[in-house]
Structure 1
Amino acid sequence: MKVFLWIAIFIGVFCFMEFMAWFTHKYIMHGFLWNLHKDHHKKDHDSWFERNDAFFIFYAVVSMSFFYAGANTDFWYGWPLGFGIMAYGAAYFTVHDIFIHQRFKLFRNANNWYARGVRRAHKIHHKKLGKKDGECFGMLFVPFKYFKQR
């Protein structure tokens, strides 16, 4: 029973992180921390790193805190919570930074329905270079309207 609960928590946290990505992007990145995020929309430097990369640190600290609690207390829920956040971060990094923005030259020839839909949705988001009026959504569960066939 504990294994089932562990897996359910992990999957639930992974899915909840998609909401957190949307919320953080819409209200924090395109809100009061726009100064950290704006170089993601309009690159104003020559560095491979962006100021926007600082956002992963927050979620990494939260994930590591759950690991610490799981390892050093009776709060065993810390393990699936921490792994759910970490797994979402890895998936987000793979889809957003590697696949879409090609920060590493992998998955360049992917051309299935999911790949086309994610690219289309992200291009629409990046059409707006400013803080306001950018359409925000998560990276993994993109609205179905972007997956139309061509």
Structure 2
Amino acid sequence: MIFLIYVVVTLITFLLMEGITWCTHKFVMHGFLWYLHEDHHQPKYQGVFEKNDAFFVIFAIPSIALFYFGINPDLNFMFFIGLGILLYGIAYFLIHDVLIHQRFKWFKNTKNKYLIGLRKAHKIHHKHLGKEEGECFGMLNVPKKYFKI
């Protein structure tokens, strides 16, 4: 029974991360930490890394801390919250950096309507080069209009 509870905690955390990501993207990345996110909105960035990549480290810190406190002194629910954050981070990397921005050429020719919709929504997000007037701040849950062919 406890295993099922831990699975549910992990799943709920993963799902809640979409809302946290949306809020963080809109109010932090397009707000007071715009100086880290700005280069990500510039066309054809010419580096291996962007300042924006610092957010991977920033978002990993809570997950790492939850893993640590989730095994000390015994395994507890904090470990599985950290796991949910980690799994969302992996999904974010695969969707955002691999599928959308093609930093790795793994899913170059997808025909999946959902993945194509995610690409369209993110393209709309990037049409704004400044921090104002943004839209489509989510990653996995975007408006349905982007899934229409």
TM-score range, shorter chain: over 0.9
Contact 1:18 1:138 in 2 (8 A): yes
Unpaired stretches in structure 1, ≥5 consecutive residues? none
Q: Where does residue 64 of structure 1 map in the other structure?
A: 64
**Superposition TM-score, scaled by structure 2 size:** 0.94
Correspondence for 2:138: 138
82-91 or 103-112, larger mean C-alpha shift: 103-112
Q: How does 1:87-102 map to 2 (within 5 A)?
A: 87-102=87-102
Identify unmatched segments of 5+ residues in structure 2.
none
Aligned length: 149
Could you tell me how far apart the structure 2 residues matched to 1:145 and 1:57 are?
32
Aligned residue identity for 1:3: F
Q: How do residues 1-150 of structure 1 correspond to structure 2 at under 5 angstroms?
A: 1-42=1-42, 46-74=46-74, 76-148=76-148, 150=149
TM-score (norm 1): 0.94
Q: Is the 1:118–1:146 contact (alpha carbons within 8 Å) kept by the matching residues of 2?
A: yes
Residues 25 and 136, structure 1, Cα contact 8 Å, conserved in 2: no
Greater shift in the superposed pair: 126-135 or 136-145: 136-145
Instruction: Write the distance in 2 (CA, Å) between the matches of 1:28 and 1:43.
Output: 21
1:6-47 deviation per Cα after TM superposition (whole angstroms, max 9, x unaligned): 011001000011011100100000000000000000158632
> Hey, what's the Cα distance between the residues in 2 that align with 1:119 and 1:43?
16
CA contact (8 A) 1:26 1:136 kept: no
| Residue identity (%) | 52
Q: Structure 1 residue 146: deviation in Å? A: 1.0
